Amino acid sequence: MGNQKSQTFPTAALFGWYDKHGRDLPWRRRWPYLASAYHVWLSEIMLQQTVVATVIPYFLDFTRRWPTINDLASAPLDDVLAAWAGLGYYARARNLHKAAVMVATEWGGQFSGDHRHANAVADLRALPGVGPYTAGAIAAIAFGQQAVVVDGNIERLFSRYFAITTPLPAAKTEIAAAYAAILPVDRPSDWPQALMDFANAVCTPKQPLCDGCCFAESCQALARGLVDQLPVKPVKTPKPVRRAIAFVAVNDQGDIFLHRRPNQGLLGGMLAFPEIGLASKQADQNLDQTMAPFAADWVLLDEPVLHVFTHFALEMKICLASIEGTPQPIADDIKGHWAKPRPADLPSLMRKIWKAAAAMLLPPHASR
Ligand code: SF4
């Protein structure tokens, strides 16, 4: 690694490729124009764990509802969580709102403001939910600084181009050093975006398009026959399985019983069906109708819903009941309300649960 490699990096070829094939994205501007820091930050938080095609409509919806970070900071958290529903990893939405409030109240409402100086990355990292990658992305893309911005796409491209055989995540330091060594002075905001687009379109995870790749002459993985072996991934351990049970109650108005989950923890602050077991790491729990939040004629559905979280896989049983009148609570800690089913307001797991339950409710109700 180092100067010798940096001298051979085909920067001009990359920019040439980007000028022709780079994606036009709603949060993107081309050098010498810089994107708004609010837009870069919002899109980067949304893009964590989520693909571009999914993020675009959410980004457009957020920026239509809340055109500035001050607007977002003034919005009720519940509205932000409802608008986020379906994007997953809800801690991101809570941190998003916290960070917006911090910028509005402590930074004078200016995302960039005084933070364009050389330590912008360190300042930005003080915001909740902003790690080194996101801080680097804002500094490079919105402030035009020479910051290190390495995402999974760039990791793959650099692992191959420089033939970095150290397994991930240990290779991250080497990749960041390579990145810093070849950072161009020109077009600093385009640089990470060009690398990401190129890796996404050409140096793809499977079957990269090495034939005709404008890096082929100097790509070390290609020269050494290592393309299929790089990057070296960490050994995967299977995810532990959790079991839980959700209670879906429907009243004679067609309303469903929901409650808002506590702010801390899994699906924090989101609307949900009452459930038992989601927070428990025990896989072998005995879960049945007797644990329901109120007395009713509960029916256990045959098929559980399967859902994968970052750290575990979930098998969620579903109990369904049609309720007439006001149910008598069994569990005191469930404070819920009846509402018309609006899947768009629910997180993905709860949408899946409602879909499975609703399929059993379709007329006639008694057919389950
Ligand atoms: S030659 Fe192949 S492996 Fe090397 S950068 Fe191009 S697409 Fe990636």
Residues 6+ apart with CB under 8 A from 173: none
Active site positions, annotated: 44
pLDDT given for residue 365 in this prediction: 42
Please name the amino acid found at residue 96: L
pLDDT given for residue 324 in this prediction: 85
- Among 186, 208, 229, give the residue marking a domain's end: 229
pLDDT given for residue 288 in this prediction: 81
Structural domains of the chain, count: 2
Cβ atoms of residues 264 and 270 within 8 Å: no
Looking at the fold, whether 315 and 344 belong to one and the same domain comes out as yes
Residues 14 and 198: their CA atoms lie apart, in Å, by: 8
Residues 147 and 137: their CA atoms lie apart, in Å, by: 7
Spatial CA neighbour of 104 closest among 68, 65, 138: 68
Looking at the fold, whether 13 and 144 belong to one and the same domain comes out as yes
pLDDT given for residue 113 in this prediction: 54
Residues 22 and 24: their CA atoms lie apart, in Å, by: 7
- Among 207, 229, 251, give the residue marking a domain's end: 229
Cα 211 to middle of ligand 1, angstroms: 8
In a domain, 235, yes or no: no
Residue range(s) defining the domain that contains residue 106? 3-229
Q: Phi-psi bin for 219: left (phi > 0), alpha (psi -120 to 50), beta?
A: beta
Looking at the fold, whether 113 and 70 belong to one and the same domain comes out as yes
Looking at the fold, whether 198 and 288 belong to one and the same domain comes out as no
* Low-confidence residues in the chain, pLDDT < 50: 1-7, 364-368
Q: Which CATH number belongs to the domain containing residue 313 in this structure?
A: 3.90.79.10
pLDDT given for residue 112 in this prediction: 63
Helix (H, G, I), strand (E, B) or coil at 248: strand
Looking at the fold, whether 260 and 198 belong to one and the same domain comes out as no
Please choose from 202, 206, 211, 214 the residue to mutate so as to test ligand 1's pocket, defined by most ligand atoms within 8 A of CB: 202
| Token duo for residue 107 | 């930074």
Looking at the fold, whether 184 and 259 belong to one and the same domain comes out as no
pLDDT given for residue 6 in this prediction: 43
Looking at the fold, whether 81 and 134 belong to one and the same domain comes out as yes
pLDDT given for residue 32 in this prediction: 95
Q: Is 180 in the pocket of ligand 1 (CB under 6 A)?
A: no
Looking at the fold, whether 260 and 345 belong to one and the same domain comes out as yes
Please choose from 227, 228, 229, 230 the residue to mutate so as to test ligand 1's pocket, defined by most ligand atoms within 8 A of CB: 227
Looking at the fold, whether 158 and 278 belong to one and the same domain comes out as no
Atom from ligand 1 closest to the CA of residue 210: 2
Nearest CA to ligand 1 atom 8: 203
pLDDT digits over 252-285, tens only? 889 999 999 988 889 988 999 999 999 888 766 7
In a domain, 46, yes or no: yes
In a domain, 236, yes or no: no
Looking at the fold, whether 42 and 184 belong to one and the same domain comes out as yes
Longest distance between any two alpha carbons in the chain, whole Å: 77
Residue with tokens 């398009």: 209
In a domain, 234, yes or no: no
Sign of CA dihedral 267, 269, 273, 276: positive
Looking at the fold, whether 213 and 294 belong to one and the same domain comes out as no
Q: Is 208 in the pocket of ligand 1 (CB under 6 A)?
A: yes
Q: Is 199 in the pocket of ligand 1 (CB under 6 A)?
A: no
Residues 283 and 285: their CA atoms lie apart, in Å, by: 6
pLDDT given for residue 362 in this prediction: 58
Q: Is 158 in the pocket of ligand 1 (CB under 6 A)?
A: no
Q: Is 140 in the pocket of ligand 1 (CB under 6 A)?
A: no
End-to-end alpha carbon distance in the chain: 65
- Among 201, 229, 257, give the residue marking a domain's end: 229
